[in-house]
Amino acid sequence: MTSDVLTLLKLDLRQSFRPSSVKGKRSEKRSSFRRLIPLVALGSFVIGISLIIVLVGPRIWSYVEGAVISDPGLGATIFNAIVLFAFLSSIMVSATTVGNSAKMEYLLVMPVSMRSIFLEKTVLVVLYNSILWLTIGIPIFVGFSLISAARLALLSAPLFVFMTLMLVSLGVSLGGLIGLIFTRLLAGRRALKQVGYFVLSGGAIIFSAYWYYSIYYGDSGGQVFEWLINLARSLGFSSNITPGYAASVLSLGLLVGLPLTVQDIVLALAFALSSFALLRANSILSERAHYSGWLAVGSKRSSKKLVPVLHPMWAPRAIPIAATNTTIGVSIWYNITSVRREARVLSQYLLGPVRIVIWIVLPIFAVGEQSLVLTPYLLAVALIPFAISYGVYFAGYEIVYEGKNLMNLQLAAANMEDYVKGKIYSALPFTLGATVVFSIIIAFLSQSMLIYLPAIAASSLFVTLASGAIAANAAAIGGDFKAERMILRQRGSAAQMPIRGWSILRAQFAPMLLGFGGVSLMLAVGFFFNPLFTYLVLPVFSIVCLQIMKTYAHGAGVKLAQIEATKYL
């Protein structure tokens, strides 16, 4: 089984990392720069951290050593966070792999047990989830172990690697198992499944956002685990039984030369064995899920009885006011319908911006009480990431996910500018929804901002229009039109953005600049002069946004109309 898993891993890794260029004439030749940039970036990052440790390490070593000696479980919170993040990001991984097993039929017919194939896919996810932690952690451990006087300090780095892989395996396999159990319970109940996906994905986003929050506000950043620890305590366990504690006490203990206790080693071994057992359970359950057909797509099943299908009148009009012509109307309908039918995608799109809001707003809060004066402003601009993201997702990403459908649009000689506009307009109802929610929050928390509310609400709609057009244009330039709308792509299971290279930066940052810059300017003139001035700037800002939309939607439409079939077929 192990050799099979290793051979399968080789295939997947070969697909994802190809340092040498492909020789064939038909394949796109990528420059050495493009091929090697991920390795160079990774290497630079590792060298950067190593340098910092070499320069700063000797000065802070005595403090680090003292802190670890007084509390070897110091790193438990961070190590537990590794489990948590792996868990949250992997809830639907196994279910998705099984659900997409038709895409790896060439593997399933090979003389390898299906369990080995599913195990390899889980191991691959573990490796991908570990890269970040290992990239950060290895130079730190290697750097400090060179400074440390402890005899076995150098062993702390390989032990850290082992422990990280163990922690991530725990999180990934637990998440995968929960996802599979969840799909088993909901097998055949499409509507309930969609609601479940929405709630779980939404919950994961909110939970991870709360985790960031706890890092900024908590004493140790471990508040999320408090209830877990309390529960363990109430069941008669001590709080030192978490996998993070075991990882911390062994790796950091070895680094500073603390004697390892038998209990700690047994605890770590127990968690390591549990992670192996859970990985195996995951593969067994995945195989059962594959054979039982829990995850078979309902639409592929035929009805036992012949039921004559009566089609209602075809008149898709999602937003009648915006549907100025048939192409726009159809585009709006198609976009909203296709996103709405994938609850996971809908929740990622609608709640995903919470993560951006947290990163933008909380560091300012972390400054302390003096930043409280900024609260009303922060509440107001917290709406902007939503307005931008909805535009980027619904117009930018979704135009890429049209994929092969672009052929139909090109053959029908559809006006692609209108089609792009439809995609942009389809984001508006969601921005409007977010505006209502934020208006209620602002009305309760900051009455001083009430006067600006209509301006903020109106400007957020215009920001969505401009962001959508900018993102659609960037997508038309650098979109991977063969990408599929999945969190993990099956092409080697590598997570890839639908828009690549500089285009994704353009799609993300240009709208940010416009949104935050424009709204901040509008509010600033209101704060410093008179709220009336905000309403004088609003029409100007709206016209700018509309002009941007017009220009970029036209640009995107022209590019999409001219795109070659090889890009999407």
Instruction: Give contact residues for other proteins (rule: CB under 8 A).
Output: 4, 7, 10-11, 14-16, 18, 22-27, 102-106, 108-113, 188, 291-293, 296, 301-304, 482, 491-492
Q: What is the closest distance, in whole angstroms, from the C-beta atom of residue 11 to other proteins in the complex?
A: 5
Residues in the chain, how many?
569
Q: Token pair of 266, please?
A: 């047994």
C-beta closer to other proteins: residue 187 or 374: 187
Q: Are 481 and 564 in contact (CB under 8 A)?
A: no
C-beta closer to other proteins: residue 11 or 451: 11
CA distance 554 to 424: 12
C-beta closer to other proteins: residue 59 or 304: 304
C-beta closer to other proteins: residue 11 or 39: 11
Q: Are 430 and 347 in contact (CB under 8 A)?
A: no
C-beta closer to other proteins: residue 44 or 566: 566
Q: What is the closest distance, in whole angstroms, from the C-beta atom of residue 10 to other proteins in the complex?
A: 8
Q: Token pair of 230, please?
A: 């309390």
CA distance 376 to 103: 50
Return the half-sphere exposure (C-beta side, CA atoms, 13 A cut-off) of residue 291: 9
Q: What is the closest distance, in whole angstroms, from the C-beta atom of residue 411 to other proteins in the complex?
A: 15
Q: What is the closest distance, in whole angstroms, from the C-beta atom of residue 8 to other proteins in the complex?
A: 8
C-beta closer to other proteins: residue 417 or 480: 480
Give the residue among 11, 93, 371, 348 at the shortest CA–CA distance from 204.
348
Q: What is the closest distance, in whole angstroms, from the C-beta atom of residue 484 to other proteins in the complex?
A: 12
Q: What is the closest distance, in whole angstroms, from the C-beta atom of residue 218 to other proteins in the complex?
A: 42
CA distance 150 to 153: 5
C-beta closer to other proteins: residue 26 or 311: 26
How many C-beta atoms lie closer than 10 Å to residue 329's C-beta? 21
C-beta closer to other proteins: residue 120 or 417: 120
Q: What is the closest distance, in whole angstroms, from the C-beta atom of residue 491 to other proteins in the complex?
A: 6
**How large is the angle between the packed helices 190-217 and 223-234, nearest 10 degrees?**
100
Q: What is the closest distance, in whole angstroms, from the C-beta atom of residue 27 to other proteins in the complex?
A: 5
Amino acid code (one letter) for 190: R
Q: What is the closest distance, in whole angstroms, from the C-beta atom of residue 109 to other proteins in the complex?
A: 5
Angle at 512 between CA 88 and CA 461, to 5 degrees: 95
Helix residue ranges, H only, 295-374: 326-340, 343-351, 353-365
CA distance 405 to 484: 12
Q: What is the closest distance, in whole angstroms, from the C-beta atom of residue 353 to other proteins in the complex?
A: 32
For 380-462, strand residue ranges (E) read: none
Angle at 171 between CA 167 and CA 172, to 5 degrees: 115
C-beta closer to other proteins: residue 6 or 273: 6
Q: What is the closest distance, in whole angstroms, from the C-beta atom of residue 120 to other proteins in the complex?
A: 12
Q: What is the closest distance, in whole angstroms, from the C-beta atom of residue 183 to other proteins in the complex?
A: 16
How many C-beta atoms lie closer than 10 Å to residue 367's C-beta? 10
Q: What is the closest distance, in whole angstroms, from the C-beta atom of residue 6 to other proteins in the complex?
A: 10
Those residues whose C-beta lies under 8 Å from the C-beta of residue 3, and which sit 6 or more positions away, are none
C-beta closer to other proteins: residue 154 or 187: 187
C-beta closer to other proteins: residue 11 or 543: 11
CA distance 242 to 430: 41
The answer for 485, left when phi > 0, alpha when psi is -120 to 50, beta otherwise, is beta
Q: Token pair of 123, please?
A: 């191991």
CA distance 52 to 147: 13
Largest CA distance in the chain: 80
Question: Could you write out the DSSP letters of every residue in 499-514?
Answer: B-HHHHHHHHHHHHHH
CA distance 569 to 567: 6
CA distance 569 to 566: 5
Give the residue among 211, 177, 174 at the shortest CA–CA distance from 83.
174
C-beta closer to other proteins: residue 10 or 233: 10
β-bridge partners, 499: 479
C-beta closer to other proteins: residue 290 or 423: 290
Cα-Cα-Cα-Cα torsion 144, 268, 95, 193, nearest 10 degrees, comes to: -100
Helix%, strand%, coil% for the chain, nearest 5: 80, 0, 20
C-beta closer to other proteins: residue 22 or 192: 22
Q: What is the closest distance, in whole angstroms, from the C-beta atom of residue 494 to other proteins in the complex?
A: 9
